Amino acid sequence: TDRLRRARAVLARAPDDVRALHSAGVAAAHLGRFDESVAALGRAVALTRCLQPEVAVLLAEALHAAGRPEEASETIERCRGAHAAERAAPTRAHPPSSEALAAAHLKFARFYLGADAFDAALGPLGDALQLRPAYAEALLERAYALQRLGDAPGARADLLAADALAPGDVRVA
């Protein structure tokens, strides 16, 4: 509640402060105030044009918790599109690297995995691996999704590839 109060105080002075919107959204979600969380995080996502994946995923999680799973998926897909557009035609002076974009797509995939939407996770995982083919974490997450979808051979292939990239990683073993 103190965090939410501080964020609200900042927002009273600077309603477009993305950090304060983020903080307010997280604090509201922790208090179970999902509509308030969605409002704050939605504003932050709009201000950042979906280019801060952590905020987009938090918004999707708040929407999901508020019983709005379709909107949660729409948020992730809209932000995936924004990241693809940013890669194709950067709008920032210092566009994100392929590694950063791959990490963003992995975050989007993890939202779907957390929502047991394994099939939906395959799209952002594919995007991550297209941007960064030797991405052990993405291979590991895709192996999990494939295993849950009943594709044991595909899961095994990804696990073996992840192990080759990160030998000794306990998550892969």
| pLDDT score at 98 | 87
Report the SS3 class of residue 140: helix
Tens of pLDDT, residue by residue over 59-85, are 999 999 999 999 999 999 999 999 888
> Predicted confidence band at 172 (pLDDT cuts at 50, 70, 90)?
low
Instruction: Identify the CA nearest to 142 among candidates 128, 166, 81, 76.
Output: 128
Tens of pLDDT, residue by residue over 121-136, are 999 999 999 999 999 9
Amino acid in the structure at residue 167: P
Question: Is the whole-model pTM more than 0.85?
Answer: yes
Tens of pLDDT, residue by residue over 101-121, are 899 999 999 999 999 999 999
Report yes or no: 37 and 29 within 8 Å, Cβ to Cβ: yes
| pLDDT score at 96 | 81
Report the C-alpha gap between 80 and 171 in whole angstroms.
Answer: 26
pLDDT above 70 for 173 = no
Query: Which two tokens mark 122?
Result: 């395959």
| pLDDT score at 20 | 96
User: What domains does the chain contain, in order, with CATH numbers?
Assistant: 2-133 (1.25.40.10)
Tens of pLDDT, residue by residue over 3-54, are 999 999 999 999 999 999 999 999 999 999 999 999 999 999 999 998 899 9
